[in-house]
Structure 1
Amino acid sequence: MLISMGLTDKVLIFPYETDFSYVALIPKKEMALRAFTLCMRVATELPEERQIILFAYRTADYDELNVWREKDGRISFYMSGDGTFFHLPPLTTFRTSLCLTWESRNGLAAFWVDGKRSTYQVYKPGHSIRPKGTILLGQDPDKHLGGLEAVQSFVGEVTDLNMWDFVLSRSMIQAWHYRHKVAKGNIFDWATIEYELNGNVMVVDDD
């Protein structure tokens, strides 16, 4: 597969439901994480009662970090087992800027929607995310790169995905939302991101 680099001013479009279209992301550093901030801008027209995978990171035996929209519309994330669920404004055809923060030290987890923070939840204090896995957009690998299901696939647009190995401050998350300059993601930086397209995924100008 061809590895490409950099998606400045570009959008990934997943045009329809498949069990074979995804984008594999190659992190700038190993995903051995005790804290993170993951941000992306996302839009979808999929109906609320359908599960959608928003981000999937899997090692051989575990879903290390999966972010979902659940069938009841809640947004959730899972690290090696049971997840935690948040009631957030719905994802729609209009772009939402969505960030997720978590740190192992105290287990504090929150989603940020268009620069506004959800209530904190305490989730898996003391946990750490393991390295050497596979990171996908568009599909949930139920085993290490396999077991893809169309009914969980992402359909819509993703852009501006960035990830840091620490929790960004409120002011930095808001600056990112408003497209002001912030520290480049040290795990993923959309401007220099390494990625591999599989199946029917389009890269188009973000006009």
Structure 2
Amino acid sequence: MAPLVIGEEQEGFVEDSLLFLTDSRSEHVVLSLRKEMSLSDLTLCLRFNTELRTKHSLFSYNTRDLLLAREDDRTMRVSIGGKELRFRLPADLWGWVHVCVARDASAGLVALYINGEPTVRKQLQSAPTITMSGSVILGHEQDKIGQESSYVGEMVDVNLYDRVLSPRTIRRLARGESEAQGNVISWLTASIQTKGNVVIQRSTRVQ
């Protein structure tokens, strides 16, 4: 089992989760990007487990260039290039949840997948290309650290791809039948630093 260390740095995860322990205004994780990439099409996937039913952020890059956040029990907020969409979530969403956001720039469409199943696709026209460099914040909205409460729960399998994954591939990822790693962010090689009461522990997710 990984050691219980606060403020730990680590590169790459195989069977470990990030465990956000405290409902506060400061807990988050900094994920460093290894190279700069410009994204038009993209797919962002991650897996989380929380009891929170109030507003919290899961993934935040450059404020709202790329944001995945929970608004409430039934709403997920997605921001791409500063433009926001809201998606309705299934009722009684508990335990480990696999979520993917896929943007098809040429079609002007964004899809949200929950546990491999798509919600209704929504239109997002004229959103700019996103230049990814520097770092990503997990567990907090990037411009609201110190102002709003952070995510509480576990997170694993954070991957970002520079293409639109097919529904079949996303379904296989959700079921654990594929371990295809992102070429922008890969969970197996991710470089992270925990801030506040966030620790790295063996995941409770069934492999």
TM-score, normalised via structure 2 length: 0.86
Partners in 2 of 1:163 and 1:85 — Cα distance? 20
SS at match of 2:19: strand
Moved more, 85-94 or 187-196: 85-94
**Shift >4 Å, 4+ stretches:** 90-93
Candidates 155, 158, 162, aligned match of 1:161: 158
Deviations along 1:30-81, one digit per CA (max 9) or x if unpaired, are 242101111111111113xx211111001xxx52111111146310111343
Per the alignment, residue 200 of structure 1 pairs with: 197
The answer on whether the counterparts of 1:139 and 1:149 sit within 8 Å (CA) in structure 2 is no
- Structure 1, gaps ≥5 residues long: none
In 2, the alpha carbon distance for the partners of 1:74 and 1:141 equals 20
Q: Could you say if the C-alpha distance between residues 132 and 189 of structure 1 is closer, same or farther in structure 2, counting changes exceeding 3 Å?
A: closer
2-structure distance, mates of 1:114, 1:72: 16
Please, which of 60, 77, 94 is the counterpart of residue 56 of structure 1? 60
Residues 90, 9 of structure 1: alpha-carbon distance in 2 compared, 3 angstrom cutoff: farther
Normalized per residue, which structure has more strand?
2
Distance in 1 of aligned mates of 2:157 and 2:145: 27
Deviation at 1:2, TM superposition (A): 6.2
2:148 corresponds to:
150
What CA deviation, in whole Å up to 9, does each residue of 1:58-113 have, x standing for no partner? 1xxx5211111114631011134341111012574401111110122122101111
- In the superposition, relative to structure 1, how do residues 170 and 28 fare at CA in structure 2: closer, same or farther (>3 Å)? farther
Aligned to 1:70, the other structure's residue is in SS state strand
2: CA distance between counterparts of 1:198 and 1:109? 31
Aligned equivalents of 1:42, 1:147: Cα separation in 2: 20
Root-mean-square deviation (CA), in Å? 2.0
- In 2, the alpha carbon distance for the partners of 1:189 and 1:168 equals 15
| Structure 2 counterparts to residues 50-129 of structure 1, below 5 A | 50-58=54-62, 63-71=64-72, 73-90=74-91, 92-125=93-126, 127-129=128-130
User: Residues of 2 paired with 1:180 and 1:71: CA distance?
Assistant: 30
1:157 aligned counterpart, secondary structure: strand
Identity %: 28
8 Å contact 2:67–2:78 — kept in the other structure?
yes
**Aligned residue pairs, count:** 198
The AA in structure 2 aligned to 1:194 is: S
**Shift of residue 200 of structure 1?**
0.7
Shift of 1:134: 3.0
Letter in 1 for 2:182: G
Read off the aligned partner of 1:122 and give its amino acid letter.
Answer: Q
Contact 2:75–2:87 (CA<8 Å) still a contact in 1? Answer: yes
Letter in 2 for 1:66: L
Is the 8 Å Cα contact of residues 14 and 155 (structure 1) preserved in structure 2?
Answer: yes
Larger CA deviation: 128-137 vs 109-118: 128-137
